[in-house]
Amino acid sequence: MCVKCWKQRMPDRGTTCLEKGAYLMNYVGCHQCQARASIGEKDQTKQEEENGDEVITFTHVCTECEHEIAAHTYQFSIEEEFQEYSMECNLCGHGEATVSILPNDPREQQLF
Whether residue 35 is predicted with pLDDT greater than 70 in this model: the reply is yes
**DSSP conformation letters of 77-101:** EEETTEEEEEEEETTTEEEEEEEES
Give the integer Cα–Cα distance in Å for 85 and 89. 14
Q: What is the pTM of this model?
A: 0.86
Query: How confident is the model over 61-94, as pLDDT tens digits?
Result: 999 999 999 999 999 998 888 899 999 999 999 9
Reduce the DSSP state of residue 107 to 3 states and report it: helix
pLDDT of residue 12: 96
Region class of 70: left (phi > 0), else alpha (psi between -120 and 50), else beta? beta
pLDDT of residue 34: 92
* pLDDT interval class at 96 (50, 70, 90): very high
Give the integer Cα–Cα distance in Å for 53 and 103. 21
- Ordered structural domains, the chain, with CATH: 24-109 (2.60.40.4240)
Reduce the DSSP state of residue 63 to 3 states and report it: coil
